Amino acid sequence: MFDSSLRLNRRNFLAAGGGLVVALSLPSSPRRAAAQASPGFAPNAFIRIDRQGIVTMVMPMAEMGQGIHTAHAMLLAEELDVGLDQVRLELSPASDALYGNPLFGPQSTGGSTSIRAFWMPLRQAGAVARTLLLEAAAQKWGVDPKTCRAESGSVFETSGSRHLAYGQLVDAAGTLPAPAPESVALKDRKDFKIIGKPHRRLDTPGKVNGTTVFGIDTKIPGMKIAAIAISPVFGGKPKSVDEKAALAVRGVHQVVLTDQAVAVVADHMGAAKKGLDAAAIQWDEGPNATVNSADIIRQLKEASNTPGAVARSEGDVEKALAGATRRLEAVYQLPFLAHATMEPMNCTVHVKKDACDVWVGTQVPTMAQTTAAQLTGLPVEAVTIHNHLIGGGFGRRLEVDGIEHAVKVAQQVDGPVKVIWSREEDIQHDMYRPYYYDRLSAGLDASGKPVAWTHRVSGSSVTARYFPAGMQNGVDPDGVEGADQPPYAFPAIHVEFKRVEPPAVPTAWWRGVGATHNIFVVESFIDELAAAAKADPVEFRKALLSHNPRALGVLTLATQKAGWGAPMPQRQGRGVSVQFAFGTYMATVAEVEVGTDGTVKVHRLVCAVDCGLQVNPDTIAAQMEGGSIFGLTAALHGAITLKDGRVEQGNFDTYLPMRMDEVPVVETHFVNSAEAPGGMGEAGTAAVFPALTNAIFAATGKRIRTLPVDTKLLKSI
C-alpha cells in the first residue's frame, strides 16, 4: 500500500530539484546553476556531490534521537552506491515542497512515519543520481551504461579497468536529463550492502564530546538570553511587574511583557532568572483559576455515559451481549502527561525590519516558519528556520507555542534573543497527552470465547485542533488508533469516540499517540476476558489470532524467549501484550515483582518485533529499549494534575523519570519478514503499559485500570 502511495511522481521530483533554487537562492536551470554556485551535482533535493566527490545528504526529517538521519542516509547511500563514511549530513531548510512528509503533506516528523514515508522516495533519489552518474561515465567512455557499475562512490567499466570517481563525473552528470524516479531500477533486496545491516549512528561522535549543537546551544553575535514566566494559570496574563527591581540585577537589560508572559532579557541565564525572580510578577489569572483535576475527570465520566461518534460497528453487539453467558464491563483511565524532553523548551529569534531568523529544534519547520511570519507580519520567505538536532521530541516539538512565545519577546528586543524555559515552565506549560476515560464491555459464551466487544473512548481530540481535516464524522482516528482495529477476531465489535475537551488544559500528541492509550486499554481488557474465562492469557489470545499470522508470530516468539509458563516465585508475574500499530507488529512480555509494600520492580522486558524490512536493526533495538522505558516511566510515575488552574508538578522531583537503578533489561527479538517497513519510534512505548499491568495482575491478582500504577493498592494485606 505504501509503495504506491509514496512514490514520488516526476512532477514532484522535478519540483524538488527546482525547489533547490529557492533553497540556495540560485537562478534558473537548477542543476546546472547549483553546479556553478557550488561546484557539483544536485540531481534532487536530497543529494549534492561536489567535484571532490564529497556527498552531502540533506535530511528531510528531524533527528530527535530516533536514529532517522542514519537510517535515511543508509537508504540514500544504498542506491547511490557510496559508503556511509563518504557522506556528510545536512539538515533541510523549511520547505513542504521539497521535504514534505509524503504521508502527511507538510514537513513533519511524527507518528513513526519517517521510514514508511521516505523508504521509497529516498531510494529513488539515490537511484536517479546513480543512474545519471553511470550515464555520464558511459558517455565519456563511449560505451553502453549497462556495461558500467557503481561502487563506493565510483563508476567502473565492468569488463575493463577504467573507472571514474563521482567527483570527476559531477559536471557531466549535471547536464543530463534526470529520469523519472519511478522509472529507475531499485536494487533487489538480496543485493543490499547497507540496508538491513546494523550500522553505527552517524550522529554519535558529536554527542559524546559536547560538540553537537542543539537549539539551546545557539550562539549568535550580540545575542541576549531571556528567562520567561508564562501565566501559571492557563489563559492568564501579566498584571504588574517590578521592572526597577529586575533591572537592578547585574547583567539584566530589559523586561518584556507579552500577552501571556513576562521575559527578562540579560547577558546570561543566571542574571535573567535572578531578574525574573526580582520582577515579582502579579498575574491576572483570568477565568481558569478554579480548574482542577477532579472536575475534569467528573466531566469526562458524565460525558462518557452518552454515545459518541461511531468508529466501527460490525455484528449485532447488543444481541450478542444479551445472549452471552458472562458479561464484563470496565472503565479505564489514563492521566494527562507531560513530554519532559531533556532539552528544555527554547528558541532563539532575531526579528529585523525585513526578515526574521529562528534557531530552534523543531519537528515542523514549515509550521514554525508560518507562525513566525504571521506574528511578525513578514512574508514567509523572509523567515528563515535554522533547525537543529533535537534534545528529545516525543511530540513536544510538533507544537510551535514555544516559537510563538519567543517571537513575541524578540519583537520587543533589539538584536537576537534566546528564550529559555526553566524546567518548571517546561512541565507547567507543556501541551499534554489527553486524559482519557474509556468504557468497555464484552461478552463470553459458555466456552469462554468472546462474542462481543464494545469500547467507547472519551477524551480531548488533538486531531480536531491540530489537523481538523483529519476528523472522520466526529471520530478522531488517532483517538481510536489501536481500538477500532484490534488484532483479534470478535464476532461483534462496536467502537466509539466521544470528544470531550477539558477546560483550559492544552492537549497534544505524546510518544505513541493514540496507540499508547488504546493498546493499554485493549490489551488489559482482553487479559480480563482471559482471566474470566480461566484461560492462560497467551493461549486465550492465540485462539483469537488464527487469522493473523504476523501477530501470532511475534506473540509466539516473545513468549518463547521469555519462558512463558515457567513457574515464578510468589508476588512475581509475567504479563503480555500484542499490538499492531505504526505498521509494526510486536509483543512484549514483562516480568515484575511486587513487594509487600506495593512497590513494583520490573526485572525484564522481552520484546518481539515484526516491522517488515529492517533498515538499521541496532537502531530498532535501541528504540525498543528507549521506547519501553519511556512508557514504563509513565505507567509507573507519570501524572500531570491540576489545582487552582495550575499544573501541580514542576520538576523531576514531582514528575518522576525512571533512573538507572530502576530500569529493567530490555531484550529485542526479531521476526524477519519481507513486508514493507513499519514504524519503530513509538511501538515499544505503546506495548509496555499493558505488559506491565498484566504482569502485576499475574503477581497480585490486582487489576490496574487507572494509570499511573497506584502502589498503595498493591500492598499485601
Partner 1 sequence: MTINIKINGTVHTVDADGDTPLLWVLRDVLGMTGTKFGCGAGLCGACTVHLDGQAVRACQTPIDSVGESSITTIEAIGETPQGKALQQSWIDLDVPQCGYCQSGQIMSAAALLAATPKPTDADIDAAMSGNVCRCGTYQRIRAAIHRATA
Applying CB under 8 A, which residues contact partner 1? 64-67, 200-201, 203-214, 216-217, 219, 225, 249-251, 267-271, 273-274, 340-344, 389-394, 420, 422-423, 618-619, 622, 625-630, 633, 651-653, 657-663, 665-666
C-alpha cell at 162: 577504467
CB of 247 to partner 1, least distance (A): 14
- State the minimum distance, in angstroms, from the CB of residue 580 to partner 1: 23
Looking at the Cβ atoms of 285 and 343, the one nearer to partner 1 is: 343
Q: Which is nearer to partner 1, 65 or 514 (CB)?
A: 65
For residue 127, the minimal CB distance to partner 1 (Å) is 28
- Which residue in 569, 584, 563, 573 sits closest to 515, CA to CA? 584
Whether the CB-CB separation of 260 and 234 falls below 8 Å is answered with no
CB of 231 to partner 1, least distance (A): 20
Q: How far is the CB of 180 from partner 1 (least distance, A)?
A: 37
Pick 79 or 426: Cβ nearer partner 1? 426
Cβ 679 to partner 1 shortest distance, Å: 16
Task: Give the residue with the Cβ less far from partner 1, 44 or 619.
Answer: 619
Residue 216 CB, shortest distance to partner 1, in Å, is 7
**φ, ψ for residue 60 (rounded to 5)?**
-75, -25
Q: Can you spell out the DSSP letters for 347-401?
A: EEEEE-SS-EEEEE--S-HHHHHHHHHHHHT--GGGEEEEE-B-S--TTGGG--H
SS3 content of the chain, % helix, strand, coil (to 5): 35, 25, 40
Least Cα distance to 204 among 46, 83, 89 occurs for: 89
Comparing CB distances to partner 1, the nearer of 146 and 659 is 659
Closest to partner 1 by CB, 88 or 200:
200
CB closer to partner 1, 170 vs 629: 629
Pick the closer one to partner 1 by CB: 427 or 558.
427
Taking CA atoms, 433 is separated from 69, 156, 243, 575, in Å, by 27, 54, 36, 25
Nearer to partner 1, 443 or 627 (CB): 627
* Cis peptide bond upstream of 93, omega within 30: no
Q: Strand pairing of 450-459 and 493-499?
A: parallel
Instruction: Give least dist CB 268 to partner 1, A.
Output: 3
C-beta closer to partner 1: residue 291 or 687: 687
Q: What is the Cα–Cα distance from 598 to 713, expressed in whole angstroms?
A: 7
Distance CA 209, CA 683 (A): 30
Cell numbers for 458, please give them: 472519551
Find the shortest distance in angstroms from Cβ 651 to partner 1.
5
Enclosing H/E stretch for 345: none
Q: b/e string for 584-616 if b means 16 or more Cβ within 10 A?
A: bbbbbbbbbbbeeebebebeebbbbbbbbbbbb
Least distance from partner 1 to the Cβ atom of residue 250, Å:
5
Q: Which DSSP state fits 639?
A: -
Q: Which is nearer to partner 1, 489 or 665 (CB)?
A: 665
What would the grid cell of residue 500 be? 470531550
Q: How near is the Cβ of 689 to partner 1 at its closest, in Å?
A: 14
Please report the beta strands in 234-325, taking only residues with DSSP state E, as ranges in sequence order.
237-240, 252-257, 261-266, 282-284, 309-314
Q: What is the DSSP string of 433-468?
A: BPPEEEEEEEEE-TTS-EEEEEEEEEE--HHHHH-G
Rounded least distance, CB 135 to partner 1, Å: 37
Q: Are 417 and 223 in contact (CB under 8 A)?
A: yes
Q: How far apart are CA 554 and CA 610, in angstroms?
A: 7
Find the shortest distance in angstroms from Cβ 160 to partner 1: 40
Q: Please measure the distance between the N-terminal and C-terminal CA atoms of the chain and give it in whole angstroms.
A: 54
Query: Which among 276, 266, 283, 261 is positioned nearest to 406, based on CA atoms?
Result: 261
Contacts of 575 (CB under 8 A, 6+ apart): 527, 537, 589, 590, 592, 690, 691, 692, 693, 694, 695, 696, 697, 698
Report, in Å, the least distance between residue 661 CB and partner 1: 4
Please report how close the Cβ of residue 653 comes to partner 1 at its closest, in angstroms. Answer: 6
- SS3 of 563-602: CCCCCCCCCEEEEEEEEEECCEEEEEEEEEEECCCCCEEE
CA pseudo-torsion sign 311, 316, 320, 321: positive
Q: Which is nearer to partner 1, 132 or 629 (CB)?
A: 629
CA-closest candidate to residue 713, choices 635, 597, 601, 603: 597
Cβ-based nearer residue to partner 1, 658 or 707: 658
Residue number with CB closer to partner 1 (4 or 211): 211
User: Cell digits for 462?
Assistant: 488533538
Please identify, using beta-carbon distances, which residue of 309 and 663 lies nearer to partner 1: 663
